[in-house]
Amino acid sequence: MSRTCTKERASSSRGGLRSGRGRLAALALAVSLGGAGAAGAADIPTPEARQAARANSPNSIPHESGPLMPAPATHPYAALDGERMHDHLSHFVDLALDSRGDGALLWGRLPGSVAALAATEYVHKGFLEYGIEDVELVRFPMKWNLWWPTRLDLTVEGSQGPYTLRSAFAATPSAQTPEGGIKAHLAYVGLGHPADLMGRDLTGRIALVYSVPQPSAFYHSGLTSVRRIAQMTNAAGILMVMDLPGNVVVAGNLGWSAGKIPLMTLGKDDGDYLRELIEAGGLDDPPMIRMVVEGEMRQPAEARNAIGILPGRSDETIVLLAHTDSWFQGATDNASGLAVLMELARHYASMKQEDRPRTLIFAATEGHHAGSPGVSYLVRQRPEFFEKAVLGINLEHVASVGVGVYAGSIVTSNTENPRELSIVGQSPLLKRITYKAVQDNGIVVSMQTSHNYRGDANHLRELPPPGLPLIGLIESPIWYHSTLDDASVVSPQGLTRAARFFAQIIDGVNAHTAAELDEGRKPIPTRGAHPMGERNPSQRMGE
């Protein structure tokens, strides 16, 4: 496969990783409670000014980038190449960036898009180059319509304008504004708690609410506060500020909770600017906002899966999954999983068939962000993949750098984020194999193990009983479904550790019979159950 260099690394013009430095003291504004602010609108730094100030200011705590924790060179799986995997990842990111060329408001390797097809074809080509003889590129219909924004605008007008907010993005799916948009005064409602809404008349106003990521757009306080505003008030629109450093654009299925009220997300710089305009204008001169949200539901023509089958000594199977589609760059979600899938396929394709105890099935599936039709296709149309399957492996969000927020800055670590480890349908033997691979490869996981399918693997529930045991690593860090998720947030070392982890599990499972693996196996939870397993104190990792 050709090596590529990503077109966008640590930052983007709309809020990247480098934009998260500490807030400058110069931005602090004195506000008089209950009356007009001490600073006028002209004194309030625009989001662009805030970003420029951060870029040109020394850190409040001087530091330099330290080395990433290496993956040991002497290792049973030293042939698994993190640099090669990162080249794959960068190629997938570039495909997403290319999708912006037609001026699309919503971009990325979207389900059914040209970029998603190109990603699937790239995996398909890789399988062929690795010498896998049984390779397929299959087409299937999408399950869900997708909501596509066609016109978005958020502008401050009146005495404090005009100023257009660049991070404004429509939640999916959002109610639409009337033709020409709505023009209304802005009202600040804090975090949207009941206490924030007491005695507030938001009739005809646009509510500005902050959402606290926990730790990302996957779960955040706005999921409930937006619903509360929609149900308890007569607001004309809602602006939800995702409280992440910089001016991050966030996408995802966030719009359901707003019901019939138009909802847009904002980056923190834009949100702080609006809040400070409210403080400056006081009760007598709240900002006037024009909000335009227009879009339509579209039915993608079709999606595609790339499948590679490596026969082994037996017809028992291990099925590996990684989804191709993404919002925006999608480096963690899920170029990381695709890169590991391709490297594992290359690794096992280099072996003779007699050296592979079981048949390995590699599937790059499309449509996770639209109902996971790719996995459903495998379950419904290719049941032979699962009839003698002893294990499934879900490669999804497998290795982004550890991250935190300190004094308004994004701070990264020298290794990966803690990921949720899933052991679904576990037996004592499968648990021992998995925990040993965690320990041997330096995999950072949370202190609890999930016994539930996660992410794209959820649709494996469609399999008939007793279902498919599965191992997975998954995370939803602060750059989840945002423009922060570029190639810089995934390291070659992290990809190496993840690939070695899964390879060790595959070989560990292949050293045992199906009967041995099944002994003492726990039932797979039913749909809707989210049990967490036992805690994983370090002394138990080697059980």
pLDDT at 19 exceeding the cut of 70: no
Listing DSSP states for 431-479 in one string gives HHHHHHHHHHTT--EEEEEE-S--GGGGGGGGSPTT---EEEEE---TT
Task: Identify the pLDDT of residue 7.
Answer: 45
Handedness of CA 56, 60, 66, 69 (dihedral sign): negative
**pLDDT value of residue 33:** 31
Residue 177 has pLDDT above 70, yes or no: yes
Instruction: Identify whether 72 is part of a domain.
Output: no
Q: Would the pLDDT of 298 be above 50?
A: yes
Determine the average pLDDT of the residues in 160-189: 91
Residue 472's beta-bridge partner residues? 394, 422
Nearest to 324 by CA among 340, 305, 310, 342: 305
**Using alpha carbons only, what angle is made at residue 268 by residues 263 and 269, rounded to the nearest 5 degrees?**
115
Q: What is the pLDDT of residue 12?
A: 38
Mean pLDDT of 350-354: 98
Give the pTM.
Answer: 0.87
* Domain C-terminal end among 298, 319, 341: 298
Return d(Cα 385, Cα 134) in angstroms, integer. Answer: 13
- % of the chain residues with pLDDT over 90: 57
Domain membership flag for residue 14:
no
DSSP 39-88: S-GGGSPPHHHHHHHHHTS--SS---PPPPPPPPSSSTTTTS-HHHHHHH
Q: Are residues 127 and 261 in the same domain?
A: no
Q: Please indicate, yes or no, whether residues 237 and 111 belong to a single structural domain of this protein.
A: no
Q: What is the 3-state secondary structure (H, E, C) of 153-197?
A: EEEEEHHHCCEECCCCEECCCCCCCCCCCEEEEEEECCCCCHHHH
What CATH number does residue 48 fall under? Answer: 3.50.30.30
Are residue 532 and residue 391 in the same domain, yes or no?
Answer: yes
Residue 357 has pLDDT above 70, yes or no: yes
* Model pLDDT for residues 230-288, shown as the tens digit of each residue: 999 999 999 999 988 889 898 865 656 677 899 999 999 999 999 999 999 988 889 99
In a domain, 421, yes or no: yes
pLDDT, residue 132, reads 98
Asked whether residue 223 is assigned to any structural domain, the reply reads: yes
Cβ count near 7 (within 10 Å): 14
Output the pLDDT for position 533: 44
pLDDT for residue 66: 57
pLDDT of amino acid 39: 55
Q: At 529, is the pLDDT very low, low, confident or very high (cuts 50, 70, 90)?
A: very low
Give the count of domains, the chain.
Answer: 2
Question: What is the per-residue DSSP string for 361-398?
Answer: EEEEE--GGGT-HHHHHHHHH-THHHHTEEEEEEESS-
Distance CA 493, CA 68 (A): 8
Window from 201-210, 408-417, 484-493, 510-519 with minimum mean pLDDT: 408-417
Say if residue 154 is in the same domain as residue 245: yes
**Which two structure tokens, joined as six digits, stand for 435?**
């925990």
Domain with 394 in it: what CATH number? 3.40.630.10
Domain that holds residue 33: 23-56+146-298
111 and 221 share a domain?
no
pLDDT at 13 (0 to 100): 34
Does 73 fall in a domain? no
Tell whether 257 is covered by a domain: yes
Per-residue pLDDT reduced to its tens digit, 485-508: 999 999 999 999 999 999 999 999
Min mean pLDDT across 21-30, 242-251, 424-433, 510-519 is at 21-30
93-120 mean pLDDT: 91
- Could you tell me which residue, 479 or 120, shows the higher pLDDT? 120
- What is the helix, strand, coil percentage profile of the chain, to 5? 35, 25, 45
Structure confidence at residue 254 (pLDDT)? 60
Is 427 among the domain residues? yes
- Same-domain status, 487 and 502: yes
Average pLDDT (52-70) is 60
DSSP class of 480: T
Q: 147: part of which helix (H) or strand (E)?
A: strand 146-157
pLDDT value at 10 more than 90: no
pLDDT at 4: 41
- Are 352 and 472 in the same domain? yes
Taking only the tens place, the pLDDT of each residue in 361-405 is: 999 999 877 777 889 899 999 999 999 999 999 999 999 988 888
Q: What is the mean pLDDT of residues 214-219?
A: 74
Residue 250 included in any domain: yes
- 282 by Cβ neighbours in 10 Å (0-12 / 13-18 / 19+) ranks as middle
What confidence score (pLDDT) does residue 55 get? 72
Do 515 and 474 sit in the same domain of this protein? yes
The domain boundary residue, chosen from 278, 298, 318 = 298
Q: Please report, rounded to a whole number, the percentage of residues in the chain having pLDDT higher than 70.
A: 86
Mean pLDDT of 423-435: 96
In this structure, what are the phi and psi dihedrals at residue 196, rounded to the nearest 5 degrees? -70, -25
Strand 182-188 and strand 206-211: the pairing is: parallel
| One domain, residues 322 and 404 | yes
CB 388 within 8 A of CB 315: yes
> Is 129 in the same domain as 259?
no
Lookup: tokens for 430:
């499968």
In a shared domain, residues 171 and 114: no
Residue 61 binned pLDDT confidence (cut-offs 50, 70, 90):
very low
To the nearest whole number, what is the mean pLDDT of the chain? 85
Of 283, 298, 313, the residue at which a domain comes to its end is 298
Q: Model confidence over 440-474: pLDDT tens digits?
A: 999 999 888 888 888 888 889 889 888 999 999 99
Pairwise pLDDT comparison (202 vs 221), residue with the higher score: 202
* In a shared domain, residues 434 and 371: yes
